[in-house]
Every structure is written in structure tokens, then in C-alpha cells.
Amino acid sequence: MRASEGWVVVFSGGGTGGHLYPALALAGALRALRPDVRAFFVGARRGIEARILPARGEEHLLVQVEGFRRDGPLLANLSVVVRLLGALVETGRTLHRLRPRAVVVTGGYAGGPAGLLAVLMRIRLVLQEQNAVPGVTTRALSLFAHEVHLAFPEAIEHLPRPARPRVRFTGNPVVPPSPVEEAHGRFGLVAGRPVVLVVGGSQGSLALNRGVLDAVTQVVRGNGHGPGRDARERPLPDLQLLWSTGPTHLEGVQAGLEALGRPAWVHAVGYIDDMPAALGIAALAVSRAGAMATSEFLAWGVPSILVPLPTAAADHQTSNARALHKAGAAILLPEEELDGRVLWAWIARIIGDRAARERMARAAHDRGQPGAAETLARSLERLLPPGGAR
């Protein structure tokens, strides 16, 4: 797609929502500051951006690129290299045509070609890293970047020393808070009752779903830390569970709940479209420890029980969860320790102790940076000529 006239800023990153949504949030904040800016996105055909960018009407280019298979044989990556070369050619043509003032890479394999070409074409390069352990793309490009923006202070120790003077700690760009007066009704919940939000990422998490279903089973059958036979209606005073299972897992979870008599306090959905509204009413979150999920919990001041994905690259989710646990904003629950009794014990302890929950919420607020998108946008604005179309 062709970008309209105006100062062009290219945003590249994706493969997963954790890399794409920061780019979208940042582009939105920049356009709010500078309406003359045209955001153009470069992503991967196999990534989530292939669905999200067209649906949002964003100007974009999708290239055939994928991540290297780190544990596979060398020949298994031959096709990856061939596609990378093709992506470099296609992206290079696009950058030459658009002549962007800056390229912003938000990580993931989808950001590699645009970031490398920005260096070769002497276009100002800005990096935004979401995790406590930077990915390969960020570490490699940080040596040549004009600025490197980190969400976790711990991440700087994993960057090459020559890159560290250009580091800024700005947080992750997230969608700003919005009014939630109608949120309870939107999700079929009762206002005034504590809400435990369960999310396993946009596709859901089989391990997390199993653990939560086991917890619900323990409570309904009176074997957990709930009140026994009356748990079907009230597992704790007024507790409600808003559970995003992931679209492909919803049927199985619903079958499990059906076998338990469909407990009225459990509300399972395949996907939550309005996550800010859900976060606005959550007293506690149970989640994987991806960068954007944890950043949203911090920005909203939501205490969390984090179950890191053990197979995440460089085990970065464990690093994310450990950092928030150390800050007092979250409980770190390794997947190998996840079962219904343990999970429910933590939920019951946090929901039942308002003072402890408020301490965790304050710690989350202290670590969160809800204004990160605007801060980053102002930094980008300084790289642009004065307002007005070119």
C-alpha cells in the first residue's frame, strides 16, 4: 500500500501482538501530536499483523519473513535465509519510495529487515524493547540505533555496552485508560463484586486453562480453599471470574464448566476485544507474563499472578515475572508448580486480604508508566521537521 503525502515514519515489528500493539499505540500517539505524520507499517505475512493491519486500514507492507529455528539443523534455516533476502529487497524498495524520516522497530523477526535497511540507508533508527530480556533483533540493532527505549530497567544489562548511553527508560506504549462505567454489564458481571481476570494471550494458554479449570473444580466440589458446597454460587464473598480462554480453547473449557453445573460466578469467553475495559474492573489478574500483558497490569495498577511461558525465547517471560515479583506487584508461579489447589490458594489469599491487594496495586502503579506512548511520541517528534506536510 502507498503512504499518503506527509512526513513518513515507518513502524516495523510483529509476528506476535506483543510486538505489533506497541507499534500501533505509538503510531496513534505520534499522529495525535503531529497530524501531518503518516505512519507506515512493515510486518510479516505470517504474523498477527497480516490480519490486524488491513482490518484497521493502516498503510502497510507485509513481507515473507520468519524467525530462525534456533534448535533445528542448519539446513532447516536455509529457507529462512532465502525469504529474508527477498524481504530485504522488497522492504528496501519501499523505504526508497517513502523516504521516511525515521524507522521505529518494536522487535520480533518482522522488524529485522526494516531495521537493518534503516542502518544501511542512514535513516534514523529508534528501537522499543518490551521485555526484561531484549530479543535478538534489539540486541543486534542497538549498536546502530539513534535511541533505544526500554520498558524494564533490567534489560539494559543485556545490551552491548556501546549502546547503553543511548538507552531511555520509557515503558511500553499501551492503550490509555478509558471510562469503565458500563464494563460490568458488557461482560455480564455484577458491579461492586471483585473480578479476577484470567488471560493467556490472544490465542489462550492450554496449561493456564487447565490450571484454572482445576481450581474451579476444586472449589465447586469443596476440595479447595473455598467455602465448600456453596462455592457454586459464591467461592469467596462476591468473587467473579472473567476468563479469556483463547478462541480455540473455549469449547473445551465450556464443556468442563458444564460438567461442574455451569457455576454462575465463572464467565468464560474466547477473546476479550475491549481489554482496557476488562482491566479497569479487575481486582486481580492471572496471566502469562508477556511484555504487553504485564505492562497493561502495571499501567492500570492491577495485581497479578504470573505463570510464565517456559518455552518463550530466552525465557524472557520468567525474567518479566521475576522483575514484577521483586517489585511487589506480582506473584511468580512457575508452570511446573501450577495446579488448582496452589492457584486457588493464591487467588483466595490476595482477594481475601484487601490490604495486601492494595499494596500490590500501589507497587504496580509505581512501576507502571501509562504515559509511555506519549513520551515516546514526543521523542520521535524531535526527529521530525517542523509541522506541515512536505
Do residue 230 and residue 336 come from a single domain? yes
Task: Please report, as a single letter, which amino acid is at residue 268.
Answer: A
User: Which residue, 211, 258, 267, is CA-closest to 239?
Assistant: 267
Nearest-angstrom CA–CA distance, 109 and 308: 21
- pLDDT, one tens digit per residue, over 341-383 is 999 999 999 999 999 999 999 999 888 888 899 999 999 999 9
Q: Give the pLDDT band (50/70/90) at residue 226.
A: very low
pTM to 2 decimals?
Answer: 0.78
Domain with 31 in it: 7-174+371-381
Question: What cell was used for 298?
Answer: 502495571
**CATH number of the domain residue 250 falls in:** 3.40.50.2000
- Please indicate, yes or no, if residue 386 is contained in any of the structural domains: no
Give Cβ neighbours of residue 209 (< 8 Å, ≥ 6 apart). Answer: 200, 245, 246, 249, 252, 253
Q: Are 7 and 36 in contact (CB under 8 A)?
A: yes
Same domain, yes or no: 167 and 18: yes
| Grid cell at residue 21 | 500493539
Give domain status of residue 11, yes or no.
yes
**Model confidence pLDDT, tens digit, residues 126-182:** 999 988 889 888 999 999 999 999 988 889 999 999 999 999 999 888 876 556 667
- Nearest one of 346, 54, 99, 69 to 218, comparing CA atoms: 346
- Does residue 229 carry a pLDDT above 50? no
Q: Write 69-75 long-range contacts (CB < 8 A, 24+).
A: 70/313
Is residue 390 one of the residues assigned to a domain? no
Average pLDDT, integer, range 49-66: 91
* Residue at 337 is within a domain: yes
Secondary structure of 20-81 as H, E, C letters: HHHHHHHHHHHHHHCCCEEEEEEEECCCCHHHHHHHHCCCEEEECCCCCCCCCCHHHHHHHH
The residue whose grid cell reads 464494563 is 183
Whether 389 is covered by a domain: the verdict is no
Pairing of strands 284-287, 304-306: parallel
Domain count, the chain: 2
Residue 154 has what DSSP assignment? G
Whether 192 and 162 share a structural domain: no
